[in-house]
Structure 1
């Protein structure tokens, strides 16, 4: 390009470096224009695209030589075309392609002695590719050599400035695209990790919900079925001698069955409508303990219930846990203890709800571990431990006073988890 054309081109190059638009080619920053170009060419094979760029570059090079005032021999045209020949391989070997271009360009500069014979389009693409794909050391080394070559090999200050700006612009474009690609990779990796975490959280939530539902169903069925079996076994024995007691036994069986069905429907409602979440989850209240106690009394076990005044408003999960702990403890008493009396005490001590269930049954040996972790019983005892722990509380079980009977106690925090350890624990 003649030196006289440089002042007209410099403002455009300046606008490009500032992120302005080229007249007639739309606005946006340099990275946005490159992104639009990459989107438009995304469906093309890289080799086909680069071959097309090579043809365009070769055509411009031939036109530049032909447009010069000097009538150049054929070998000059061939050298001009040679500057573009390596371009189809620029992605595979960017340094080699740029070196071949530079060799052809230097030969033109030395032998042709014409500014028009030097067309840097292939060099711009080559330097862009090096900046986009090569290591930092290689990129900056190539840029330094290119800038020095532009300054030394250009015949005028304006031409040198234009060459340096052109090289710097192509290098900056390549570096920006490289940075954009790295950011895309980082975001993709973050999205992948977020997806893995979300899947893990979802799986954990499903497991917790299944465990919760399993506990609910166990507590409901174990309590109801235990009462029903005991009453069913006692019914035939008393039906002749004590018809009224037999009638009460069968009433207890019916009431226990109906209550179990109602509670099971509430549990299964969560499974049928998972989007409703925990809003549909069964949340029994301590006030319902009176009904539980009445059904247990019909089985022949004398039960005393003491719900202290001043319990106030309790968190729903704590109240449900206390209800299930009492229910499970009573079920164990009915099934295993051989007791004829049991006592339930629920009271509030500061920010802790205390639940105690005791009986006068066979109990356990005095050497038994009083902590829940040491229990070797069935699912019911494990469920008591899990319900207390889920509320941030703890539960203990073991022999009653002087080794008589069995005692289950739980302390459930009414505030943040961990209150049990700080308040009287």
Structure 2
């Protein structure tokens, strides 16, 4: 049973010495009263003396520390009762103190020690009956043995139940920690995904806008209409970038807010992407070969981002007169995506010229392709230019 914090029951559980001391005082008082009533009546029991009163007190007072040293106090409490039996004095309810201590050993100590405590209690009872020359009725002795056994069984049951509840609490805490760890891992993975998406979106659109702005600056004086068209393209590109960014970060909004959750782009959006690159000045062409099939969402997005990043790099680094080719081949067991240009040759796996620094875009492409078990090649193209080629395995 659970206790409410601050309640008297909770306070007693937090201060067991107070409750056990009160229990010892109550049992001692009742034992003295019972011994006095038994000694003043008819029978062979001797009336109470100072010694018998002291022995009754010694048999009951160990209850005050029963949770700290239950087995030792049980042995200590049995000695005064044996002496009382030998002197033919009635111990009153001192036997109740032995039962309580036996229950405490069974409830708070291991099985082996509780069995020893039960044996000590039985032996002390037998010795006391022998010293008192009380052969009595076997029914009475059997009843006493059954009571002691019941007390021991109840104590063991309480201990097992306490251990079971502790195991449940520990298991719940472990599950809670595991769930928190999974949540943190999921959040980290989601942050990484959003970072990749934001990089791809921002890098692509800002690169295109930069090229358009440079073109507008060059023809602003001589061809105002061309500069106006470039500015319109920059405006449209900015609006598109904002739309895509809202769609990506919309999942980060709180429950009380509503975001614009647009679907992520895929291979079906490649014609529009190629048209954007043409408007920005890159002579790009698209070829789609094979029978089109429905792609898994992750591969669909990864392949689109690969083409987007590769064309953006071609636009930035290949040169003003470069051409680019996008080839998408649908095969029964894989998807081939290849982006080539005939611009300046590469000096390394990620560079396009002596002044260019490697960015995070192509590194992100490698991570995307590896995530879906694909094969990626990035490097100079035979005959000049640059090439990005990836194969994504497809499961039936």
- Please name the residue that 1:406 is paired with: 386
* Structure 2 SS opposite 1:86: helix
Aligned partners of 2:308, 2:389: CA distance in 1, in Å? Answer: 13
Deviations 1:374-396 (A, max 9, x none): xx831101111122233343422
Structure 1 regions of 5+ residues with no counterpart? Answer: 1-31, 370-375, 417-425
Matching residue of 1:57: 27
Q: Determine which of 308, 319, 325 is the counterpart of 1:343.
A: 325
Matched residues in 2 for 1:276 and 1:285: separation?
A: 27
Distance 1:406 1:84 in 2: 95
CA RMSD in angstroms, aligned pairs only: 3.0
Distance 1:225 1:279, change over 3 A: closer
State the shift of 1:42 in Å.
3.2
Structure 2: how far apart are the matches of 1:183 and 1:412?
A: 51
Matches within 5 A, 1:2-401: 41-44=9-12, 45-68=15-38, 69=42, 70=45, 72-74=47-49, 75-112=51-88, 117=92, 119-154=94-129, 155=135, 156-243=137-224, 245-273=226-254, 280=261, 282-308=263-289, 310-338=291-319, 340-365=322-347, 377-401=358-382
Residue 351 (structure 1) shift: 3.5
Q: Deviations over 1:109-129 (max 9, x none)?
A: 211265x74642111111111
Is the CA contact (8 Å cut-off) linking 1:223 and 1:331 kept in structure 2? Answer: yes
Deviations 1:260-304 (A, max 9, x none): 011112123222146999994751122222222111111221111
CA distance in 1, matches of 2:286, 2:264: 20
8 Å contact kept, 2:212–2:230 = yes
Name the CA distance, whole Å, in 2 between partners of 1:290 and 1:393: 23
Give unmatched runs, 5+ long, in structure 2: 130-134, 351-356
Deviates more, 1:55-64 or 1:124-133: 55-64
Q: In 2, are the aligned partners of 1:270 and 1:276 still within 8 Å (CA)?
A: no
Residues 42-86 of structure 1 show CA distances to partners (whole Å, capped at 9, x for unaligned) of: 331311211221122123322432343445123334422332111
Q: CA deviation at 1:198?
A: 1.6
Match of 1:24 in 2: none
Which residue does the alignment assign to 1:5?
Answer: none
Rounded to whole Å, the distance in 2 between the matches of 1:168 and 1:177 is 14
TM-score, reference length from structure 1: 0.79
* DSSP 3-state at the match of 2:389: strand
